[in-house]
């Protein structure tokens, strides 16, 4: 379970969506170069005029793409900042502006991901489900440079569906989430996935080795998963008071976030954490 909203596509880098028209432009350049060579060989004066015109068109296209990329980076950075600061209205205003000009498949999927995060941060789980599933459909397989969004949205859809009690809809997203990388930050996502599934289905046994799970949650400082593991220990008959207290020290300072994003899970665990 994670409280981070929008990640970078790659660490330390704000990536823009793939250029959908790059192949088209490259083909135009190849054709233009061929025509220029032929025209110069048959009529040097006319050929020179064509080369100058074509060069001007290509330079204009390059500047147009560079401006678009600059604006994308600016807006993406501002959406991340606004969401992190809790300025949801500002994030939504920037998002609305981008949605008017971004029409490609990958960029629309990325923007749907952002809209899902805004809805989720507000506690609008139905809105989050609608936007996250749209993002998942728009990026059905990992796209180079944007794999993080493909994988994260699978986990997020599972989270919000389970919190809304729509257990029968999560299976395909769980199956895809299980295929995500398991190193680095992804360890937290897989632990959170196992925890929320076990808790939602009232199956503490699904967590397996609770001692190993406890060590992992402590290492990752994943408070909500640690709270669920404490619940599993308690169901097994163990004394979980200290473990609940340890989890509470991590999650209670951010209780407003957890109450909105995981209202069902929080309601079940709140008495033990506060």
The SS3 of residue 201 is coil
Q: Which has more pLDDT, 85 or 37?
A: 85
Helices (H), 85-124: 88-101, 105-122
Overall size of the chain counted in residues: 274
Neighbours of 64 (CB within 10 A): 10
Query: With 0-12 CB in 10 A as exposed, 13-18 as middle and 19+ as buried, what is 247?
Result: buried
Instruction: Look up tokens 């793939």; give the residue.
Output: 18
* pLDDT tens-digit readout, 66-77: 676 788 888 888
How far apart are the C-alpha atoms of 120 and 176, rounded to whole Å? 21
C-alpha dihedral, 94 to 96 to 136 to 266, nearest 10°: 70
* pLDDT tens-digit readout, 1-54: 655 555 544 433 344 455 455 555 444 544 444 544 444 556 555 445 444 554
3-state secondary structure string across 131-176: HHHHHHHHCCCCCCCCHHHHHHHHHHHHHHHHHCCCHHHCHHHHHH
- % residues pLDDT > 90 (the chain): 63
Q: In the predicted model, is pLDDT for residue 253 greater than 50? A: yes
- pTM for the whole structure: 0.78
142 and 108 Cβ atoms separated by less than 8 Å:
no
C-alpha dihedral, 198 to 199 to 201 to 203, nearest 10°: 50
Q: Alpha carbon of 203 to those of 140, 164, 198: distances in Å?
A: 30, 18, 5
pLDDT number for residue 143: 83
**CA angle, 120 then 124 then 126, to 5°:** 100
Q: What is the mean pLDDT of the chain?
A: 83
190 and 180 Cβ atoms separated by less than 8 Å:
yes
Residue 95 tokens, joined: 């998002």
Helices (H), 6-43: 22-42
């Amino acid at each position: 379970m994670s409280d981070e909203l929008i990640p970078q596509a790659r660490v330390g880098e704000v990536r823009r969506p793939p250029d959908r028209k790059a192949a088209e432009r490259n083909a135009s350049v190849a054709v233009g170069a061929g025509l220029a060579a032929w025209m110069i060989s048959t009529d040097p004066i006319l050929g020179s005029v064509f080369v100058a015109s074509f060069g001007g068109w290509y330079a204009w296209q390059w500047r147009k793409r560079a401006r678009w990329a600059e604006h994308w980076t600016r807006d993406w950075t501002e959406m991340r900042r606004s969401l992190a600061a809790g300025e949801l209205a500002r994030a939504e205003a920037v998002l609305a502006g981008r949605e008017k000009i971004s029409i490609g498949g990958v960029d629309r999927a990325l923007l749907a991901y952002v809209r899902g995060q805004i809805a989720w941060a507000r506690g609008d789980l139905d809105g989050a489900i609608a936007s996250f599933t749209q993002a998942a459909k728009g990026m059905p397989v990992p796209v180079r440079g944007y794999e993080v969004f493909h994988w994260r949205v699978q986990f997020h859809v599972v989270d919000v569906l389970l919190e809304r009690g729509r257990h029968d809809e999560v299976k395909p997203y769980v199956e895809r989430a299980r295929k995500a990388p398991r190193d680095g930050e992804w360890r937290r996502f897989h632990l959170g996935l196992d925890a929320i599934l076990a808790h939602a289905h009232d199956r503490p046994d699904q967590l397996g080795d609770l001692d190993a799970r406890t060590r992992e949650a402590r290492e990752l400082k994943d408070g909500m998963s640690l709270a669920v593991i404490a619940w599993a220990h308690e169901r097994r008959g163990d004394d979980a008071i200290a473990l609940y207290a340890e989890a509470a020290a991590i999650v209670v300072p951010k209780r407003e976030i957890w109450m909105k994003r995981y209202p069902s899970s929080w309601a079940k665990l709140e008495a033990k954490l506060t």
